[in-house]
Structure formats: structure tokens, C-alpha cells
């Protein structure tokens, strides 16, 4: 790693767990920041999720690749003082505890600001720092339910209420938090003063929800018709177009003839036309034939691809969106690459995920100048923990 990385030289303490927070820390690391994960003795719960290779489960590996790790028992005597020492050297702190936790530990923004007024601190919680629900614990599915996403999915797809297949509320909060952090760093260059950024997952979800205006305006009936998945002779595809438009293009671009007339009842007309399109698509027995048909109609379409086949997706393969990292067990394992592609800068995942407490000695030596004996004393006093 060198100064070609945009965030080279920034130091980050990442106290966050699971996804809302760790994802922002992972992106900061990919962009060149030195990110140290502060992990409690009982570990991040994501160490229980995913395929375990070399003692590093997949979920944890994905969100913490490229970070260093020191394990601190924040409730032990001497822990607060150690963290404040580290905070004096840091540019950024990330945490996603409930809003009252860090202040109770003596590590809230006001306390840290006393020793480092330039600190930029990002706090992510389900319902924000202040308000009637600030005390509530929240993971992404809680926000998906509260923000209307589960209801909309069920209503539009005519399905029972269920969670989304990805943690949108967490990643939205992390990405909005990342924007806030970098904005505050730029402002600090101007003012010399840091900032506390309060990100509520429910705010971030609403702000990123391009469909919420239908609910706010009570205008669901003005939304486009839902897009459809169609079977072809090669496999299922998704068409991103109103069926009426698809039918118009089909009859213009092929020898398909519309057997309906202006006198055909509407429901019958729709049924007849949909069956004709269904039969037409089933005549396309290869993906080359499917693609040629879609190009002839200039339609946006996508192969309904099983997730385990992602590495066969042409653009993912060509852009190196999935890369192989040292699995710390003598082999390699796949991990998603960060999406940033700069014209004159470097970025990308910088190494495997750390074990708990793996960098206790290294970080405290490099950041604070502590000797091996001093670090060992902190381990003996159970301020620091380690799996290595």
C-alpha cells in the first residue's frame, strides 16, 4: 500500500460489529486508510457465520478483510485509558453500539473530543442518537419491517411477509456513514475541528428508498406495472419493461402477429398476448438466441442467475469483482472486491481478515510506542485478549 491510495495516512478505530459499521471500515481500508478493528473478548458475532477456513468464517472475513485487530475488554480497568491513548492518534472512530453505550464507558464523542478535538466519529444505530426509540436494539430486518420494505415486497409480489435476502438497512447506513465521514474529513481540513455523525439506519433506509414516494403521496396506482420473469428455452430471464411496451417492440421487431382486435375483451387480450410472448421466448434455446432477440427489441434484460454462478457473469469476471485472497490455511478463498475504479489512484482489498487480538503488539507499538513488556502487562491484566 502506498500514497496512490486516496485515504493513505488516515487512521481509523473501528469498534463496530456485524455489518452496519464494519462495511464502512472495510471500504475505508480498501481506499488506503489504516483500519484497526477493536474487538471485545467474546468476539464479533459474525465469527459464527459462514464457512470457517483457518479459523475465519466467511461473513467475518468478507467485512473485515484488510483490517488490523486488537482485542480490548472495554469494561476492564485501564481499558478506557488505553482507548483514549489510541483515540489521540486516530482520525476516525466508527461504532454501532446503542447510543448510550460508549458514553457509559467514558468513550462517547464528548469524552474523546476532550483529548482529540479533531476526531471524526461515526455512530450508527437503528433509530438514532435521540428520540423515542433510541434505546431499541436493531439489526437490518428490524428496519426492513419498520421502514415498510417487507410490506411492499409482500404486497407487490403477493407473498407472505418475509425478510429481504440481503441486509439493505445495514449497508445503506454504512455507505451513508462513509459519505458523512469523508465529508467531515474535508470540512476538518478547512476548520481544524472534528465532528460527530449520527446515522440512524431507519433514516438511511428511507433516504435511499426510491419507491417511498408512492407511499408518501398515496399514489401506488401511478407506479409502473411490475416487471416479469419469463422462461426461455435457455433459462429464466428478467425483463425490465412494462409488458405493453414489450409487446409493441415484439410485434415491430419480429414476425409475430397480434391476433386480437379492438373489440377483444381486455383480460382476454392480455392473456393471449402474454401466451404468444411466452411461446416466442421458449423458441430461443440458447443464450446467444436469447441475447439476439433482446437486442433486436432493444430491451434491458438479465439472466436469472443462481448466486453460486456469479463468477461466470461476464462483467464480474472481466472487472475482477471477485478476487482470491490468502485464506490463512495454505490456500485462497474468494471475496468481493470494492467497486471503486480510479483513473489515477489505487484501491482494493488489501489482505485477509485478522484473528482476534492478532495485532495487539504491532498496533500498540506503532501507534503508541508501547514495548512488548507493556503490551504483555495489559494482556496479563486482561485488558487485552487474543486468539493467537
pLDDT for the residue 225: 82
Quote the pLDDT of residue 66: 97
Query: pTM for the complete prediction?
Result: 0.93
CA dihedral angle for residue 249, residue 254, residue 255, residue 256, rounded to 10 degrees: -40
* pLDDT at position 52: 97
Spacing of C-alpha 370 from chain mean position: 35
Q: Which residue has the cell 464502512?
A: 24
pLDDT in tens, 287-326: 999 999 999 999 999 999 999 999 999 999 999 999 999 9
Kindly write down the DSSP assignment for every residue of 108-143, as one continuous string. Answer: SHHHHHHH-TT-EEEEEESS-SSSTTTT----HHHH
Place of cell 483490517: 67
71-90 exposure pattern, b = at least 16 Cβ within 10 A, e = fewer: bbbbebeebbebbbebbeeb
pLDDT at 1: 54
**pLDDT on residue 2:** 66
pLDDT (0 to 100) of residue 131: 87
Q: What is the mean pLDDT of each run of 10 residues along the chain (388 residues)?
A: 88 97 98 97 94 96 98 96 98 97 96 97 96 94 97 94 96 98 97 97 97 94 90 97 93 92 95 96 97 95 96 96 96 97 96 97 98 96 92
Q: Which domains does the chain have, with CATH numbers?
A: 11-212+320-385 (3.40.50.10540), 227-306 (no CATH)
CA dihedral of 363, 369, 371, 377, whole degrees rounded to 10: -70
CA angle 320, 205, 129 (to 5 degrees): 115
Mean pLDDT across the chain: 96
Amino acid at each position: 500500500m502506498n500514497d496512490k491510495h486516496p485515504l493513505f495516512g488516515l487512521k481509523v478505530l473501528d469498534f463496530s460489529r456485524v455489518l452496519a459499521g464494519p462495511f464502512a471500515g472495510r471500504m475505508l481500508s480498501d481506499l488506503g486508510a489504516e483500519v484497526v478493528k477493536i474487538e471485545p473478548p467474546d468476539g464479533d458475532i459474525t465469527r459464527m457465520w459462514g464457512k470457517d477456513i483457518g479459523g475465519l468464517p466467511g461473513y467475518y472475513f468478507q467485512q473485515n478483510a484488510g483490517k488490523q485487530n486488537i482485542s480490548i475488554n472495554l469494561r476492564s480497568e485501564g481499558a478506557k485509558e488505553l482507548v483514549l491513548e489510541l483515540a489521540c492518534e486516530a482520525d476516525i472512530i466508527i461504532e454501532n453500539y446503542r447510543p448510550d453505550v460508549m458514553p457509559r464507558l467514558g468513550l462517547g464523542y464528548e469524552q474523546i473530543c476532550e483529548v482529540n478535538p479533531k476526531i471524526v466519529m461515526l455512530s450508527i444505530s437503528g433509530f438514532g442518537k435521540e428520540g423515542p426509540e433510541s434505546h431499541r436494539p436493531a439489526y437490518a430486518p428490524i428496519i426492513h419491517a419498520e421502514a415498510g420494505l417487507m410490506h411492499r415486497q409482500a404486497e407487490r409480489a403477493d407473498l407472505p411477509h418475509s425478510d429481504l435476502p440481503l441486509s439493505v438497512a445495514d449497508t445503506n447506513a454504512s455507505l451513508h456513514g462513509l459519505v458523512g465521514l469523508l465529508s467531515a474529513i474535508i470540512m476538518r481540513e478547512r476548520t481544524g475541528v472534528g465532528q460527530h455523525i449520527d446515522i440512524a439506519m431507519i433514516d438511511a433506509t428511507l433516504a435511499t428508498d426510491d419507491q417511498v414516494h408512492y407511499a408518501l403521496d398515496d399514489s401506488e396506482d401511478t407506479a409502473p406495472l411490475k416487471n416479469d420473469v419469463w422462461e426461455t428455452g435457455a433459462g429464466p430471464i428478467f425483463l425490465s419493461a412494462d409488458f405493453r411496451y414489450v409487446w409493441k417492440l415484439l410485434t415491430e421487431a419480429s414476425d409475430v402477429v397480434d391476433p386480437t382486435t379492438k373489440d377483444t375483451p381486455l383480460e382476454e387480450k392480455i392473456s393471449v398476448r402474454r401466451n404468444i410472448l411466452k411461446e416466442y421466448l421458449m423458441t430461443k434455446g440458447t443464450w446467444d438466441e436469447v441475447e439476439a432477440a433482446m437486442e433486436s427489441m432493444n430491451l434491458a434484460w438479465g439472466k436469472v442467475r443462481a448466486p453460486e454462478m456469479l463468477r461466470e457473469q461476464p462483467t464480474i469476471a472481466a472487472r475482477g469483482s471477485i478476487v482470491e485472497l490468502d485464506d490463512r490455511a495454505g490456500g485462497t478463498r474468494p471475496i468481493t472486491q470494492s467497486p471503486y475504479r480510479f483513473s489515477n489512484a489505487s484501491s482494493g482489498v488489501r489482505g485477509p481478515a485478522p484473528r482476534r487480538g492478532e495485532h495487539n503488539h504491532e498496533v500498540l507499538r506503532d501507534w503508541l510506542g508501547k514495548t512488548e513488556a507493556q503490551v504483555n502487562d495489559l494482556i496479563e491484566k486482561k485488558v487485552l485478549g487474543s486468539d493467537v
